[in-house]
């Protein structure tokens, strides 16, 4: 089972129960402790990661994990705020990638040689793509479970389209930069799309 598949199964499982423990989920999904806890850590709501959708209760033994109960208006606001908030930082990343070719040197067809600044840029873009996918998945889930009020259905459709458009916009911009630098796209793809939920590729039809 791939990590994206496991992440979706964890999310769907937690939506159907009041809470679950790591041992329960390991038994259900037959996965490793490392993969399970890595996914939980990346999606847990904290002060520094307020958009996480898993709630961790470590006041119990064993620790309990659950999905934060929220209405669709909260998700709508998250989509609006997140997509607006990333424009500035993305523009900065694009400028750095376009103006500093030394960030994008490839040693071979399989290895991408990035300096520290290059790694930071690509890691952050990867996380942005990851978060957009998460928001898109949440919208799809709420729609499939009829958890969206009738007066918000059109907003949900708009939110989903905004996520897809932003994802597509980022991919197209990266493709244009990569074509300019003549870097093997598959090398960039292997480095960039390493986070959960990210399933699209640079050479896809987006």
**Digit-coded pLDDT (tens) for 37-77:** 999 998 888 887 766 778 999 999 999 999 876 778 888 98
Task: Tell which residue, 147, 145, 139, 40, has the closest CA to residue 83.
Answer: 139
pTM: 0.68
Specify which of 85-94, 110-119, 127-136, 189-198 reaches the highest per-range mean pLDDT. 85-94
d(CA 45, CA 40): 10
Average pLDDT score over residue span 135-140: 86
Give pLDDT, residue 111: 57
E strands within 37-157?
A: 54-57, 64-67, 105-106, 112-113
Lowest mean pLDDT among 106-115, 118-127, 147-156, 159-168: 106-115
Mean pLDDT for the chain? 80
Lowest mean pLDDT among 78-92, 147-161, 187-201: 187-201
E strands within 62-182?
A: 64-67, 105-106, 112-113
- Percentage of the residues of the chain whose pLDDT score is greater than 70: 77
Task: Tell which residue, 33, 34, 39, has the closest CA to residue 10.
Answer: 39
What long-range pairs does 81-85 form, CB within 8 A, spacing at least 24? 82/51, 82/131, 82/132, 82/135, 83/132, 83/162, 83/163, 83/166
Specify the pairing of strand 54-57 against strand 64-67.
antiparallel
Residue 44 tokens read as: 């847990």
């Amino acid at each position: 089972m791939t990590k994206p598949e496991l992440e979706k199964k964890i999310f769907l499982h937690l939506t159907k129960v009041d809470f679950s423990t790591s041992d329960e989920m390991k038994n259900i999904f037959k996965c490793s402790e490392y993969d399970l806890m890595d996914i939980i850590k990346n999606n847990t709501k904290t002060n520094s990661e307020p958009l996480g959708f898993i709630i961790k209760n470590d006041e119990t033994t064993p620790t309990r994990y659950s999905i934060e109960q929220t209405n669709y208006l909260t998700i709508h606001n998250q989509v609006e705020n997140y997509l607006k908030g990333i424009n500035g930082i993305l523009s900065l990343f694009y400028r750095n990638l376009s103006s500093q070719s030394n960030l994008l040197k490839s040693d071979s067809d399989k290895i991408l040689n990035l300096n520290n600044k290059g790694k930071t840029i690509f890691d952050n873009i990867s996380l942005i793509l990851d978060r957009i996918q998460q928001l898109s998945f949440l919208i799809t889930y709420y729609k499939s479970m009829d958890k969206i009020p009738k007066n918000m259905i059109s907003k949900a459709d708009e939110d989903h389209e905004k996520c897809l458009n932003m994802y597509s916009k980022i991919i197209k911009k990266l493709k244009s930069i990569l074509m300019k630098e003549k870097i093997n796209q598959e090398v960039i793809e292997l480095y960039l799309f390493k986070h959960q939920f990210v399933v699209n590729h640079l050479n896809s039809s987006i």
